[in-house]
Amino acid sequence: MPDACATITAALRWAYDRLSAAGCDTPILDAEVILAHTLQCDRAWLRAHPEHRLTETQIQSFATLVTRRCAHEPVAYLVGHKEFFGLDFSITPAVLVPRPETELLVEIALEHVADKSKALWVADVGTGSGALAIALAVHLPHARVVATDLSASALALARHNAQRYGVDWRVMFLQTDLLLPVPIPFDMVLANPPYLRRDELPTLADVAAPDKPRDQPGSPGCRKKQERGSGATLPLAWEPQIALDGGVDGLHVIRRLLAMMPSRLRPGGLFAMELGAAQAHAVLELAHASFPHAAITLRRDYAGLERVLIVVVHKS
């Protein structure tokens, strides 16, 4: 092992071989991120110093993290942080790893606000790490944000992330189910609810036996309809199931959330919710039932998949 990982070049080659063999989708990126974390540098520094020699302690730490990644544990859990909308968030296994496609929710919210100096009330339902709530608080300096989650551990992490960016005084964190005890109407409500069908969820047993027969997976890292146990979905086995499990049809939480939304939005208010691409038709029907007179559209993600439901309530 010491000889195999003696230099940055050798360590990256060793990691790439093992991560590729384990079926990881982005072995080069994973190896670089893990090694940069181990050496406390950035990836550009790695490329600029290919012959830099690792200490024995660094080699052992790197090998341990690579071994964990070979079991499809998310890289964000290994290094303890993840970038979202240009901000760096502390991440633990208590929360779902923020996905790039979820940044669409922030983009949609910012597009909706014509005057960013206006005082607004915003809700982030199922906040997890706080990524959505904090990104909005940073970019909307006069907004007040209510961030809810069932998990006390998730809320503690989200509060820590809010403190890092100095917006904790404008974000109220509530341990509750959806928005049940919150009586005030909001200018905007954002949500990334659990939307996987229960039979789509991989387990750690699938991680231990990833070569079972399966259909072709979709794009890596996204929570969408894929065969349970596929290489793209195996990292989900490490993430909190409460943040993924949408019930038998994947719509259990979505139904409840859409049912309560009409009373939670002010005139002209926005509701934006991430969904699985295969759910678009069913979610549109539910949205029209809850909002018969609102403007309802779908936004595609950068892969061209229908990813976000957008509801705008008509002004009085």
Q: Are strands 306-312 and 265-274 parallel, antiparallel or unpaired?
A: antiparallel
> How far apart are the C-alpha atoms of 178 and 210, rounded to whole Å?
34
307 shares a domain with 175: yes
Listed ranges 1-15, 119-133, 188-202; the one with the highest mean pLDDT: 119-133
| Position 210 pLDDT exceeds 90 | no
129 shares a domain with 21: no
For residue 295, give its domain range. 81-195+248-312
Question: So what's the pLDDT on residue 150?
Answer: 96
152 shares a domain with 53: no
Residue 233 tokens, joined:
């979905």
| Position 211 pLDDT exceeds 60 | no
Q: In CATH, what number is assigned to the domain containing residue 24?
A: 1.10.8.10
| Position 224 pLDDT exceeds 60 | no
**Which range is least confidently modeled, 17-26, 196-205, 217-226, 290-299?**
217-226
Question: So what's the pLDDT on residue 216?
Answer: 38
For 146-182, the pLDDT digits (tens) are 999 999 999 999 999 999 999 999 999 999 999 988 8
CB 59 within 8 A of CB 1: yes
For 182-203, the pLDDT digits (tens) are 888 999 999 999 999 998 888 7
Residue 238 resides in a domain? no
Q: Residue 186's beta-bridge partner residues?
A: 265
Q: Give the dihedral of Cα atoms 275, 281, 286, 287; nearest 10 deg.
A: 70
Residue 39 resides in a domain? yes
Report which of residues 45 and 222 the model is more confident about: 45
258 shares a domain with 154: yes
Q: Is the pTM of this model over 0.85?
A: yes
164 shares a domain with 191: yes
Number of folded domains that form the chain: 2
113 shares a domain with 169: yes
The upper half-sphere exposure of residue 236, i.e. CA atoms within 13 Å in the direction of its Cβ, equals 31
| 8-16 mean pLDDT | 97
Q: In CATH, what number is assigned to the domain containing residue 100?
A: 3.40.50.150
306 shares a domain with 184: yes
31 Cα distance to chain centroid = 21
Report which of residues 221 and 44 the model is more confident about: 44
> How far apart are the C-alpha atoms of 256 and 300, rounded to whole Å?
23
